[in-house]
Amino acid sequence: MTGVASNRLQRRPLVLSLPNVLTYARILAVPAVVGFLYFMPGHTGRWIALGIYVAACITDWLDGFLARIWEQQSNLGRMLDPIADKLLVGATLLMLTYENTISGLSLWAAVVILCREILVSGLREFLAELNVKVHVTRLAKWKTTLQMVALGVLIAGAAGDAVLPGTTTTGLALLWLAALLTLWTGYDYLKAGVRHAIDS
């Protein structure tokens, strides 16, 4: 068996490894969350969307954890994981804006988060061409966690308010905190990008 064929056989199982399957599931959860919020307006649709969203958020932690302990880290997983996160956050923000859970001044928090995600994606692509890696900081991880929690609370929205008054207000406050952390962590990427652009 040639070396190329052997490498293909070694890589193939990683495509269907559990960590990668969990990442695929998170991507598939995106249209499911949006679909229930759009096609099933009302409390029931919100609770179902929230359940799917929470499951997707759990896979975000679980796929990386399993990949590390089982030594199943792969380039495919490293590529898809941040894409899945951004799809989930972006689509949920847009849907919550569409059905007015996020409105008024809080739209600016959503805009900041979306713009930062696009900015960082572009900077990562640029820095990758220069073989420069910007490591994810602990603060950036907290930012992601806060974003996920804020969006989960806002998905509950009116349905959550019926059970626990102030749910939507709490979600919007968390969204603003996430936006502030988003600006802070985004600046680190921008600073690194500008520095290497000037030096190159």
Q: Which of 6-15, 123-132, 162-171, 179-188 is the most confident on average? A: 162-171
Residue 79 to residues 12, 21, 110, 128: CA-CA distances in angstroms? 16, 13, 24, 12
The count of domains in the chain is 1
Residue 107 and residue 109: Cα distance in Å, rounded?
Answer: 5
Give the contacts of 22 (CB within 8 A, at least 6 positions apart): 59, 62, 63, 66
Residue 29 and residue 13: Cα distance in Å, rounded?
Answer: 23
Question: Nearest to residue 157, comparing CAs of 143, 144, 174, 142?
Answer: 174
Range with the poorest average pLDDT among 61-75, 92-106, 172-186: 61-75
- In terms of residue numbers, what domain contains 27? 3-199
Residue 176 and residue 101: Cα distance in Å, rounded?
Answer: 14
- Indicate if the pLDDT at residue 196 is higher than 70: no
Give the contacts of 4 (CB within 8 A, at least 6 positions apart): none
Instruction: Identify the residue with better confidence: 191 or 10.
Output: 191
Question: Nearest to residue 106, comparing CAs of 169, 44, 52, 176?
Answer: 176
Residue 33 to residues 12, 67, 156: CA-CA distances in angstroms? 30, 25, 12
pTM: 0.85
The CATH number assigned to the domain holding 193 equals: 1.20.120.1760
- What pLDDT is stored for residue 4 in this prediction? 44
- What pLDDT is stored for residue 88 in this prediction? 94
Residue 61 and residue 52: Cα distance in Å, rounded?
Answer: 15
65 φ, ψ (degrees, to nearest 5): -60, -50
Q: What is the torsional sign of CA 37, 64, 77, 191?
A: positive
Residue 101 and residue 98: Cα distance in Å, rounded?
Answer: 8
Q: What is the pLDDT of residues 141-169, one digit of tens each?
A: 888 899 999 999 999 999 999 999 999 99
- What pLDDT is stored for residue 132 in this prediction? 65
Range with the poorest average pLDDT among 5-9, 48-52, 157-161, 181-185: 5-9
